[in-house]
Amino acid sequence: MFSDLNVFKTAYAMATHAGQRQAVISRNMANADTPGYKPRDIEAFQKAFENPGREVAMTATRAGHLHGEARPQPWAEYTATEMGDPNGNGVSLEEEMLKAVEVKRQHDRALAIYKSSIGILRSGLGRA
């Protein structure tokens, strides 16, 4: 009955995705004045999660990892659209702030899913 609780895996994946995307957004904001810097982003969680054709295998993120494939992470970064700033920098601080708020909401949503699932599980076990 409790051997495979996908709701916890999904909440974990959503929180991990939010953390990775927040790191990319903060890197974009830190380089807002760097000439020629191209903003980056990560594909939306829903798009990555709904991709049924993706194979799941161990991934080597460092050269020293054993038995893993050196391939992009599930949420690979990509270059976002450019705004055409005179110095060649495409970062818009306003857009990055809006993305940061969206990511915070996604992370809060993942925590809410996790907390409510724990509550349901506890009440099912008779431990409220």
Indicate if the alpha-carbon torsion angle 101, 103, 109, 111 is positive or negative: negative
Nearest in space to 11 (alpha carbons), one of 103, 112, 97: 112
pLDDT in tens, the chain (128 residues): 556 688 888 899 899 999 999 999 999 999 988 888 888 888 888 877 776 555 555 566 666 666 555 555 555 556 666 555 666 787 888 899 999 999 999 999 999 999 999 998 888 888 66
Give, in degrees to the nearest 5, the angle at Cα 70 between 38 and 36.
10
What is the number of other CB atoms lying within 10 angstroms of the CB of residue 8?
Answer: 14
For 51-64, b/e burial (b = at least 16 CB within 10 A) is eeeeeeeeeeeeee
Cα separation, 72 vs 61, in Å, equals: 8
Domain locations in the chain?
A: 6-123
Tokens of 3: 């051997």
Cα separation, 51 vs 3, in Å, equals: 24
